[in-house]
Structure formats: C-alpha cells, structure tokens
C-alpha cells in the first residue's frame, strides 16, 4: 500500500510545483517586502517594545483591510481569543460552544476564562461549526431565563459560541450569528487562520461581537508571534486595549490599575513585521489561490482523493490546502510516504474531546468531525515566490 503509485505521483507533483528536491515544509513565511527596513527602524528609534507607531499602523491596516471598525493588537492569537471571550462576557463556570476540529488554542482560551466546553460538530463542506447541529443542540438543551440562556442539564449559563474558519475556509457564519441572536448568545469568531477570507463579501472575523486573528509563524502573514482583536463596538475596543496593557490608567507618573489587566500587548518590533507583511497580503492571497487552483486540477484525476475547495458563497485565503482520502488506512499510508519523501504533510488535529484535558467535556453527535479527522491531510501551502 505504501507503494501506491498515486502517492509518488502526488509527491512528484508537489516537488515540481515548489520547484525543489529539498525538504518542502507545510508552510513557511515569506519576507520579500520592507520587513528588514521597518524592523531596523524600530531598533534605530529605540521603540522596540510596547509603544510605537508600527503598532498603531498595524492595527489601522487590519481594520481597513477587514472592514472592522476597531482592531486591537495582542501578543498572540490565543491571548487575543482569551480577551475576546472575557469581553463577550464569559465568566468562570459558564459554558462556551465550539467545534472539536480546531487547533488546541481555541479550547485553551476557553479554559483560561474558567468556562466549560461544549463541542458541537462541523459540516463536511466548510470544516467549520455546523449551524444545523448547533441549532438542534440548543433546541434540545437551552432554556432562556430572562436575558440568560441556561443549559438545562448542567444548569450553567451558555455564554458564547466560538466558530473557527478552518484552514482559512469560511464557515456558514451568517447562520451561526442568526442562531446566536435567537438564543441570545454572543458569537466570538476564531478567525486565526482566515485573514483574507470573505463570506458573502464580508471579511471573516467581522460577523461576531468580536473576532480574532493570529500572526504566528505559520499563518498567512506573520509577526513572529502576534494576534489581533477586531470589533465594531467602540467600548469593547477601548476595554480590549486597556485590559491587554495591564489596565493602567493613563497618568504622567502614577501607577494605578483599575481592573485585572494582562500583559498581552504586541511589541512595536513585531508590529513592524506586521505592517510590512500586510503590504504583501493581496499578493500572498493571489499566489495561494493560484496554488489551490493547480492542486484542484491535479487531484481531479484521482477518484479516491478529494481536494478541499472553498465552500459556497465564500472566498478563501487557502491558508492550508487539504485533501481527503477515502479511508484512514490510505490516509495514514500517504502521511508515512510523503513525510519519508521530504514532502511535509500532516493529519488534521486530534479532536479536542480526545485530548486529556478535554475528554470529559460535553459533546453531541460529532460524526462529521470524526470522519474528517480520520481522512484529511494538509499538504504544502507556502506562498511560491
Ligand atoms: C493559530 C491559531 C490560534 C492562535 O494561535 P497563536 O499561536 O496563539 O497566535 C488560535 N486558533 C486557531 C484555530 C489557530 O489556528
């Protein structure tokens, strides 16, 4: 099985496409713009730390690009999500709904607030939270008490819904927002992977009460490490800035902090990278969509492999390309073969409810997530310069 001729055909195609016989990583950053100039600027000005013009400019660029009214930089995407959940009103012993197929940061940020998880299934076409399954779980389990929505079984308040736009592909976010409104539960979008992805022409991350992005080294643009909170609510944006910068009340010399704050700010040094990367984002997206087109065309010849294309009504950034095998055995054999042959591939994340920290959490029917987790492989997706 390891000698499946299709496997070699695939790795050969990837080597040809990336034009190399060396090791091909899953996703590597590209610094082909003004990164060096801007980083040197911060050093020469001494403004490398938490204050500086690049932080302001980076926030402005993200707000402009996404159409969000406000953007607040944070030290990484996980911290951004932690704060976004707090600002959405999530408190210890509340419950937060999210999908089992996601990077661990989504679940961890929920834990940091002290809330408990409910894992609801994804759809096979979007790989994101399923509106139908969300709705049916809430119909069965949720009851409104005044302005609170309570889980009938546990007695806990259901405080937020956190959909994630998997690999950059937008989920059916408008329907999720509608369900959230119906049950009076705010939506916080984990758009960590979907900078540059639009659903019905509106940028992902801007549908919910708050949204977050990540600029980790493997994301579509990177600041080394970094994140961003976006919202249209001015008060929430102000509080986001305040709480991520130790909640210090501005004063010429006094150190007074009026609430529990966090040191979650993005450095000016990192933001300098961010500004330079944002200047290239449109080119990165064109090239990524072009690579996805090449992959799609190539994989059409295999009856037993499906290339994951952007869902209906959406424009994806194609951050990480993915293929789906007909069963787990073939998938595992391909993982083995490709990684041995210097083409980095990886399976989808182990589902959150299978991790030791989360294996006691509430789940509903998660058959789609299980099906995908058994069959999906991410394939090299770096921007080809
Ligand atoms: C990358 C990522 C995050 C945030 O990660 P950081 O490394 O903290 O920036 C959160 N959620 C998802 C789904 C991610 O892929």
Q: Which of 103, 189, 320 to mutate to test the pocket of ligand 1 (most atoms within 8 A of CB)?
A: 103
- Ligand 1 centroid–CA 151 distance in Å is 28
167: left (phi over 0), alpha (psi -120 to 50) or beta: left
- Ligand 1 centroid–CA 367 distance in Å is 24
- Ligand 1 centroid–CA 191 distance in Å is 9
Q: Is residue 328 a part of any domain in this protein?
A: no
| Sheet strands side by side (includes 210-214) | 70-74, 227-231, 210-214, 188-190
Q: Which of 76, 85, 105 to mutate to test the pocket of ligand 1 (most atoms within 8 A of CB)?
A: 105
Handedness of CA 385, 323, 65, 163 (dihedral sign): negative
Q: Is residue 376 a part of any domain in this protein?
A: no
- Helix (H) or strand (E) run with residue 145 in it: strand 142-145
| Beta strand pairing call for 148-151 and 142-145 | antiparallel
Q: In angstroms, rounded to a whole number, what is the distance separating the alpha carbons of residues 351 and 369?
A: 8
Q: Is residue 181 a part of any domain in this protein?
A: yes
Q: Is residue 285 a part of any domain in this protein?
A: no
Q: Rounded to whole angstroms, what are the CA distances from 15 to 19, 22, 32, 337, 338?
A: 6, 8, 22, 14, 11
Q: Whose CA is nearest to atom 7 of ligand 1?
A: 216
Which atom of ligand 1 approaches the CA of 214 most closely? 9
Q: Whose CA is nearest to atom 2 of ligand 1?
A: 192
Count CB neighbours of 254 within 10 A: 8
- Ligand 1 centroid–CA 226 distance in Å is 9
User: Which structural domain, as residue segments, surrounds residue 223?
Assistant: 35-278
What tokens were used for 3?
């000698």
- Output the 3-class SS for 239-296: HHHHHHECCECCCCCCCCECCCCCECCCCHHHHHHHHHHHHHHHHHHHHHHHHHHHHH
User: In terms of Cα–Cα distance, which of 244, 200, 225 is closest to 71?
Assistant: 244
| Predicted pLDDT at 381 | 98
Q: Whose CA is nearest to atom 4 of ligand 1?
A: 77
What does the DSSP 8-state code read for residue 101? S
| Predicted pLDDT at 51 | 86
- Ligand 1 centroid–CA 145 distance in Å is 34
Q: Is residue 251 a part of any domain in this protein?
A: yes
Which atom of ligand 1 approaches the CA of 225 most closely? 9
| Predicted pLDDT at 168 | 98
Q: In angstroms, rounded to a whole number, what is the distance separating the alpha carbons of residues 5 and 8?
A: 5
Q: Residue 247's domain is classified under what CATH number?
A: 3.40.640.10
- Which residues, judged by CB distance below 6 Å to any ligand atom, belong to the binding site of ligand 1? 76-78, 102-103, 105-106, 164, 190, 192-193, 214, 216, 227
- Ligand 1 centroid–CA 103 distance in Å is 7
| Predicted pLDDT at 3 | 62
- Ligand 1 centroid–CA 77 distance in Å is 5
Q: In angstroms, rounded to a whole number, what is the distance separating the alpha carbons of residues 212 and 183?
A: 22
Q: Is residue 216 a part of any domain in this protein?
A: yes
| Predicted pLDDT at 2 | 55
pLDDT tens sequence for the chain (385 residues): 556 889 999 999 999 999 999 999 999 999 999 999 999 999 999 999 988 999 999 999 999 999 999 999 999 999 999 999 999 999 999 999 999 999 999 999 999 999 999 999 999 999 999 999 999 999 999 999 999 999 999 999 999 999 999 999 999 999 999 999 999 999 999 999 999 999 999 999 999 999 999 999 999 999 999 999 999 999 999 999 999 999 999 999 999 999 999 999 999 999 999 999 999 999 999 999 999 999 999 999 999 999 999 999 999 999 999 999 999 999 999 999 999 999 999 999 999 999 999 999 999 999 999 999 999 999 999 999 8
Q: Is residue 257 a part of any domain in this protein?
A: yes
| Beta strand pairing call for 158-162 and 188-190 | unpaired
Question: Number of folded domains in the chain?
Answer: 1
- Helix (H) or strand (E) run with residue 98 in it: strand 95-98
- Ligand 1 centroid–CA 144 distance in Å is 32
Q: In angstroms, rounded to a whole number, what is the distance separating the alpha carbons of residues 306 and 116?
A: 35
User: In terms of Cα–Cα distance, which of 272, 253, 209 is closest to 73?
Assistant: 272
Q: Whose CA is nearest to atom 13 of ligand 1?
A: 103
- Ligand 1 centroid–CA 86 distance in Å is 17
DSSP 34-84: SHHHHHHHHHHHS--SS-SHHHHHHHHHHHHHHT-SEEEEESSHHHHHHHH
Q: Rounded to whole angstroms, what are the CA distances from 377 to 100, 151, 167, 316?
A: 17, 35, 11, 18
Phi then psi for residue 183, to 5 deg, are -100, 5
| Predicted pLDDT at 12 | 97
Q: Is residue 136 a part of any domain in this protein?
A: yes
């Amino acid at each position: 099985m390891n000698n499946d001729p299709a496997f070699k055909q695939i790795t050969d195609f990837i080597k040809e496409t990336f034009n190399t016989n060396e090791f091909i990583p899953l996703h590597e950053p590209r610094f082909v713009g003004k990164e060096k100039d801007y980083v040197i600027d911060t050093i020469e000005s001494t403004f490398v730390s938490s204050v500086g013009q690049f932080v302001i400019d980076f926030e402005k660029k993200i707000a402009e690009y996404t159409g969000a009214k406000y953007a607040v930089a944070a030290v990484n995407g996980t911290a951004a999500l932690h704060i976004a959940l707090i600002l959405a009103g999530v408190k210890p012993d509340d419950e937060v709904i999210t999908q089992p197929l996601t990077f661990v940061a989504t679940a961890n940020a929920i834990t940091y607030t002290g809330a408990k998880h409910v894992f609801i299934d994804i759809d096979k076409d979007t790989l994101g939270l399923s509106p139908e399954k969300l709705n049916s779980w809430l119909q069965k389990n949720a009851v409104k008490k005044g302005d609170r929505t309570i889980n009938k079984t546990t007695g806990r308040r259901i405080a937020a819904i956190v959909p994630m736009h998997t690999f950059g592909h937008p989920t059916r976010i408008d329907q999720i927002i509608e369900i959230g409104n119906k049950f009076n539960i705010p939506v916080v979008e984990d758009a960590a992977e979907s900078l540059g992805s639009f659903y019905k022409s509106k940028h992902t991350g801007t549908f919910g009460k708050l949204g977050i992005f990540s600029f980790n080294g493997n994301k579509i643009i990177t600041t080394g490490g970094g994140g961003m909170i976006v919202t249209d609510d001015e008060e929430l944006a102000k509080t986001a800035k305040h709480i991520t910068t130790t909640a210090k009340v501005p004063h010429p010399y006094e150190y007074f902090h009026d609430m529990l704050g966090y040191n979650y700010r993005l450095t000016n040094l990192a933001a300098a990278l961010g500004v330079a990367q944002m200047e290239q984002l449109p080119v990165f997206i064109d090239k990524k969509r072009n690579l996805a087109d090449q992959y799609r065309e190539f994989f059409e010849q295999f009856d037993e492999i499906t290339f994951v294309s952007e869902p209906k009504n959406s424009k994806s950034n194609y951050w990480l390309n993915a293929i789906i095998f007909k069963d787990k055995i073939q998938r595992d054999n391909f993982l083995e073969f490709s990684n041995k042959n210097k083409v980095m591939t990886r399976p989808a994340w182990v589902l959150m409810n299978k991790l030791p920290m989360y294996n006691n959490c509430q789940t509903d029917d998660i058959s789609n997530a299980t099906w995908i987790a058994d069959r999906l492989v991410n394939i090299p997706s770096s921007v080809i310069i």
